[in-house]
Amino acid sequence: MLAADPGAHALNFTLGNQLATQNRWAEAQQEYFMAYAAEPENADFAYNLAISLDHLRQRRPALEYYERAIGLAEKHGASFDLGAARRRATELSK
């Protein structure tokens, strides 16, 4: 489907989720990044990108995207647990 409609960034997000369930974090990170780059105001895209970076042990970029996701969620809402995102951002900032 992505080949037929490369602008369908929700599909990148969905593919990232599928890859994440398979612990294929590097590939998931690429899909999440493509989704986020296309829709930088989407808190859920930023959050999943943060999680993938966190799993890849890229602490600084993960923290940056957790903070972006939190800020976006406060403005626009999101489907992730905002408290959990805040806790993880605090842990990474230490």
Model's pTM, two decimal places? 0.92
Write out pLDDT tens, residues 6-53.
Answer: 566 788 999 999 999 999 999 999 999 999 999 999 999 999 999 999
- In whole angstroms, how large is the CA radius of gyration of the chain? 13
What is the distance between the alpha carbons of residues 91 and 5, in angstroms, rounded to a whole number? 38
Place of tokens 């890849």: 56
36, amino acid identity:
Y
Instruction: Kindly report, residue by residue over 80-94, the tens digit of the pLDDT.
Output: 999 999 999 999 999
Task: Give the architecture (CATH level 2) of 9-92.
Answer: Alpha Horseshoe (1.25)
